[in-house]
Amino acid sequence: DAGVIQSPRHEVTEMGQEVTLRCKPISGHNSLFWYRQTMMRGLELLIYFNNNVPIDDSGMPEDRFSAKMPNASFSTLKIQPSEPRDSAVYFCASRESGELFFGEGSRLTVL
């Protein structure tokens, strides 16, 4: 298995633009997590899906952020409009029951 796959690996955009980050979890994993990592706040849980259903989105910082999981093999995290303070590395992770497997992250820079 290729592991958790995230795209793009790097994204540089201008403030106000829409950003869409994508994640393909490990096949068979029924839980998917989106995290954001910054120097100031460390690793923050943004949202968590179980069987494609959003369970806990309390970490989503504000309405500009939205996440979807239309099927078991794909999820998106969208920021619209993006702001410079959204610059961070965004991680996707999946699990079946036990260890959490992380993707390699998407580094977002908003100018």
Partner 1 sequence: DQQVKQNSPSLSVQEGRISILNCDYTNSMFDYFLWYKKYPAEGPTFLISISSIKDKNEDGRFTVFLNKSAKHLSLHIVPSQPGDSAVYFCRPPIQGAQKLVFGQGTRLTINP
> What residue ranges bind partner 1 (CB under 8 A)?
33, 35, 37, 41-45, 48, 55-59, 97-98, 100
Cis peptide before 61 (omega within 30 of 0): no
- Return the closest-CA partner of residue 33 out of 93, 102, 95: 93
The nearest distance, CB 90 to partner 1, in angstroms, is 12
Q: 13 vs 54, which CB is nearer to partner 1?
A: 54
Find the shortest distance in angstroms from Cβ 39 to partner 1.
10
> Which two structure tokens, joined as six digits, stand for 43?
């690793």
Place of tokens 């460390």: 42
Residue 28 one-letter amino acid: G
Q: Which is nearer to partner 1, 13 or 101 (CB)?
A: 101
Provide the minimum distance between the beta carbon of 93 and partner 1 in the complex, in angstroms, as a whole number: 9
In one-letter notation, the amino acid at residue 81 is P
